[in-house]
Amino acid sequence: MKTRIPYLVIVFATLLPLSVAAQVPTFHVLVLDALNGRPQAQVKVNYFCEALGSKRDSVKTGVDGKAEIPFECANGARIEIWLIPPGDKDECGGVEPLKIGDILTAGFISEPNGAGNDWCPNKQRRKLHPVPGQVTVFVKKPTWWQAHVAG
């Protein structure tokens, strides 16, 4: 009987992190090119909760243009998301701080021509519908005017 106790402790210790991790809600950020609608890989998706003392974290998108974000904000807090694309592309418009309930139930598509970073055409956005559990954001190369005069 004494030899079985250490095995039970090991099994319990290995199962505990899995059950705790399963309780953290997650959502996806999909990054698309604003001109052609193609998914963008290796885009750094930064995020943090709008609560005092919350840490900033980041994850990169895969070849499908998606990044999985754990929502570890306090109840009722909002999450901020911003992108750092590789190369010479910039985020379009920007994303307002979002509540997890809104993301999980309705989804969100950024306004590529909204206030914030570089504006982009709205052509690709009009083809899409919000997907529950997903935030869709656009990137593109800045125009000459955006790169040299406006920015």
Q: Show the beta-strand stretches assigned E in 1-151.
A: 26-33, 44-49, 57-60, 66-70, 78-84, 90-91, 98-99, 108-109, 134-140
In a structure prediction context, what are the per-residue pLDDT tens digits for the chain, which is 151 residues long? 555 544 444 443 344 444 444 577 899 999 999 999 999 999 999 999 887 677 889 999 999 999 999 888 877 789 999 999 988 888 887 788 999 889 999 999 998 776 555 778 888 888 999 999 999 999 988 766 666 565 5
The span from the CA of 104 to the CA of 23, in Å, is: 14
The identity of residue 94, as a single letter, is G
- The per-residue pLDDT for 9 is 42
Model pTM score: 0.78
Domain boundaries, the chain: 24-150
* Fold observed for domain 24-150: Immunoglobulin-like (2.60.40)
- The per-residue pLDDT for 114 is 63
